[in-house]
Amino acid sequence: MQNHSNAGRLPPGQIITKKLPVMYVGDIPQINRTEWSLKIFGEVQKPVLLSWDEVRQLPKSRYTSDAHCVTTWSRLDNHWEGVSFSDLLTLVNPDPTANFVMVYGEQGYSANFPIHDLLRDGVLLAYTLDDKELATEHGFPLRLVVPHLYFWKSVKWVWGIEFLSTNKLGFWEQSGYHPHGDPWLQQRYTV
Ligand SMILES: Nc1nc2c(c(=O)[nH]1)N[C@H]1C(S)=C(S)[C@@H](COP(=O)(O)O)O[C@H]1N2
Ligand SMILES: [Mo]
């Protein structure tokens, strides 16, 4: 399946898939945008609770990136649109000691990051995929996209972003997934 233009884009041990599979634990939550909000809290100067309209009024970023699932599928060239993590960060002004971030999704899902990973190009809180409103199963209304880490880190149905001075482990990271998850280094599991 790999053609010339994909050379060097596939991390070791990965296989290309054409369609983006749907992966989740628990149930697919049905979220009403008018009742939904995004909470940004923790070690910050100014915690915020953003409504859907407020999120949509923030600067819009677009980024095309590849998704690499730890179960070995990769889907190339996903077109995402949303708010960049750096734009969200300026709203809350994190404390200088806030070197880590936990991102929370519905149903107890979460993923942990060193803050510098989220400040890289292409890290978005996305609301469209391939020019269409995010489908329910892909994380409607808002999902995280962190293209340079395994896709389990790209939390769907995001409701919260917490800034922390110490690193905690997220949902899968507590169950033996690698705390960092770099697909180029095959940081898949720790057990
Ligand atoms: N809230 C939540 N986010 C999640 C998951 C999940 O189970 N719950 N699964 C993760 C995993 S393992 C992958 S591979 C991607 C899959 O995203 P997709 O279903 O849009 O392809 O979502 C990630 N984000
Ligand atoms: Mo995954």
Measured CA to CA, the distance from residue 178 to residue 160 in angstroms comes to 22
pLDDT in tens, 5-15: 677 999 999 99
Domain ranges of the chain: 35-185
Q: Would residue 108 be called left, alpha or beta, if left means φ above 0 and alpha means ψ between -120 and 50 degrees? A: left
Which residues line ion ligand 2, judged by CB < 5 Å?
23, 69, 151-152
Ligand 1 atom closest to Cα of 23? 19
Ligand nearest to the CA of 109: 1
What is the pLDDT at residue 191?
66
CATH class, 35-185 region: alpha beta
Helix (H) or strand (E) holding 75: strand 73-84
Helix (H) or strand (E) holding 112: strand 110-114
Mean pLDDT in order along the chain per 10 residues (191 residues): 70 97 95 98 98 98 98 98 98 98 97 98 98 98 98 98 98 97 97 66
